[in-house]
Amino acid sequence: MPSPYFTKLTKIMLLTQTEENYLKAIFKHSEEAGKGVATTNAIAIEMNTAPASVTDMLRRLSEKKLINYEKYKGVSLTDSGRQVATELIRKHRLWECFLVDKLDFEWDEIHDIAEQLEHVNSPELIRRLNEYLGTPRFDPHGDPIPDEHGNIPEREFITLSNLEPGQTGELIGLQEHPDSLMKFLKKINVAIGTKITVLEYNEFDESLYIQINNEKKGGLSRKVSDNLLMKVI
């Protein structure tokens, strides 16, 4: 309707998967990382490309007004860039819920599949998927799922490494979730929701002696306990 009266042109810009992935990488290394801006190098490492390729893409994303970019000064997302990024994260995490809740995948098997599914473009699909899953707020790794407006639920947590001997907490998420960590946790029977009691703190290597769900006891390295996000109970 070419009328002079319409006020808001919600331009639906079709992005390539690559562009989408760059926006996610920028989100991760600026806002999510707590820094204001992402650096070219960080993005290159995240995307597994040469820094020169990143510079090139930054120029293009900047032209499309998805990022704020000044040469040599790092990069941050504009409002519309942030909207795209959080929508992708929302889609990724909803699909992860689907894979675990409905198709019985395990939490260490879903990332690569969700990485593909997140690029499927259909707002109605996501609306219905979200409803079908019961509007989950967290994904199978405990990561918060942004809502339609890009608001991300806050989690209050303390890392297991910061619990005092005697305290018990419930696992609500992971700081990072590399495959190796998830496989290890599976082996010792720790998952989202598991209760862990700190029995002893070992000063020498900063490891913990813990009890899992009031049953098995065992040791846990500092590196692992740093990655476990707990709610004290």
Partner DNA sequence: TAAGACTTTTAGATTAATCTAAAAATATTT
Partner DNA sequence: AAATATTTTTAGATTAATCTAAAAGTCTTA
Residues at the site binding DNA, with contacts judged by CB under 7 A: 16, 18-19, 39-42, 47-60, 69, 71-72, 74
| Least distance in angstroms from the C-beta of 179 to its own copies | 16
Nearest distance in Å: CB 165, its own copies: 42
- Quick note: the x/- pattern for its own copies over 131-150, rule CB under 8 A, is -x------------------
Q: Nearest Cα to 150, choosing from 82, 95, 76? A: 82
Tokens for 206, please give them. Answer: 């900063």
CA distance linking residue 207 with residue 20, whole number of Å: 40
Distances (CA, A) of 222 to 62, 139, 193: 41, 25, 20
Smallest distance, its own copies to C-beta of residue 24, A: 17
Three-state SS for 207? strand
Site for its own copies (CB under 8 A): which residue of 112, 156, 176, 215? 112
- Nearer residue to DNA within complex by CB, 68 or 167: 68
- Whole-angstrom Cα Rg for the chain: 21
Q: Residue 183's binding partner, choosing from DNA, its own copies, none, with beta-carbon cut-off 5 to 8 A by kind? A: none
Phi, psi of 155, deg, nearest 5: -115, 135
Residues in touch with its own copies (CB under 8 A): 99, 102-105, 109, 112-113, 116-117, 119-122, 124-125, 128-129, 132
